[in-house]
Structure 1
Amino acid sequence: MSIFKNKQKATLPVISTASLPDIVFMLLFFFMVATVMRKDTLIVKNELPYADQIEKLDKKNMVIHIYAGKPSSRYKNVGTEARVQLNDKFADIREIKPFVLEEMKSKPKELRPYLTTALKVDKNTKMGLVGDIKNELRSVRMLKINYTTRSGDAIKNLE
């Protein structure tokens, strides 16, 4: 007549792993939605100038980006002179026209008149290069140009 039972035979209950795949897929879905994919990898120095009167572009998919600036520290073998970057490679001024025409062809025909060219130019880049880029854009009739800047006091550009 034993009142007390032997507890040595009792084992821990098994942890249920049935909900583990649900948790993994929920985390995967969260990170897929929350992550912003960068379209281009910058290979030029791109310290944007400050501006105090800025407007945000409404439709990001209707923008063609052109970067200009000195090559970043990883690309010093290219030189120290300011260069143009189209997508993920250095380009010559003469390559802007075919690049813009190709980008225009990738957009629906009815939206082509609303395309905007965003110039992301380093604040230390000479205006001669920017003028050459604008001349190439004029030859393709891309007259809507946006200069991408940082929000702030324009006096900071003189520092």
Structure 2
Amino acid sequence: MPDIIFMLLIFFMVTTVLREYEGLNVFLPQARKIERLESKRHTSHIFVSKDGLISIDDKIIPIDNVKHVMYDKRVADPQLTVSLKADKDATMELIGNMHNELREADALKINYSSKVAAPS
């Protein structure tokens, strides 16, 4: 009996696929000093592409809906931190509009994602 349970355990461990969402095709800017996000538990990931596409937790939405979606997320989780992953070629107008939408949704804890720059 234990050998059957062990075989089933091995089977499910091997066949289970852990899905990792990559988000939109975003090339992050580089920074010299980076701090890791303390906890991924209360985090909502927002991807902003250079084309103006916005993805919040696997769903592509128009910028006009960011305020409503993030407000609902903040109500559900008051400790929510926004991880903003904006393309390095995204316009500052788009990033500014994102800030305004997040401010209106009272999502004020924002983490900006970047890559580590090569040492010079």
Q: Which has the larger radius of gyration?
A: 1
Residue equivalent to 2:113:
148
Shift of 1:30: 4.2
Whether 1:47 and 2:48 are equivalent positions in the alignment is no
- Secondary structure of the equivalent of 1:61? coil
Alignment partner of 1:100 is 2:70: yes
Identity among equivalent pairs (%):
28
Contact kept, 8 Å, 2:71 with 2:107, in 1: the verdict is no
Contact 2:44 2:56 in 1 (8 A): no
Further displaced range: 48-57 or 146-155: 146-155
- Give the secondary-structure state (helix, strand or coil) at the position aligned to 1:60: coil
- Residues 1:67 and 2:47 are matched in the alignment: yes
Residues 74 and 106 of structure 2 are in contact (CA less than 8 Å); yes or no, is this contact kept in structure 1? Answer: no
How many residues align structurally? Answer: 119
Q: Give the CA deviation at 1:22.
A: 4.3
What is the match of residue 27 of structure 1?
10
Structure 2: which amino acid aligns with 1:54? I
CA contact (8 A) 2:54 2:62 kept: yes
TM normalised by structure 2 equals: 0.80
Q: CA deviation at 1:124?
A: 1.5
| Alignment-mate amino acid for residue 65 of structure 1 | H
Q: Structure 1: give runs of 5+ residues left out of the alignment.
A: 1-17, 71-80
Q: How far apart, CA to CA, are the structure 2 residues paired with 1:106 and 1:41?
A: 24
Q: Distance in 1 between matches of 2:109 and 2:119?
A: 23
**More helix by proportion, 1 or 2?**
1
Q: 1:55, 1:135 → 2: CA distance?
A: 24
What secondary structure, in the 3-state scheme, does the structure 2 residue paired with 1:65 have?
strand
TM-score, normalised to structure 1, is 0.63
Unaligned 5+ segments in structure 2 are: none
Residue 133 (structure 1) aligned with residue 82 (structure 2)? no
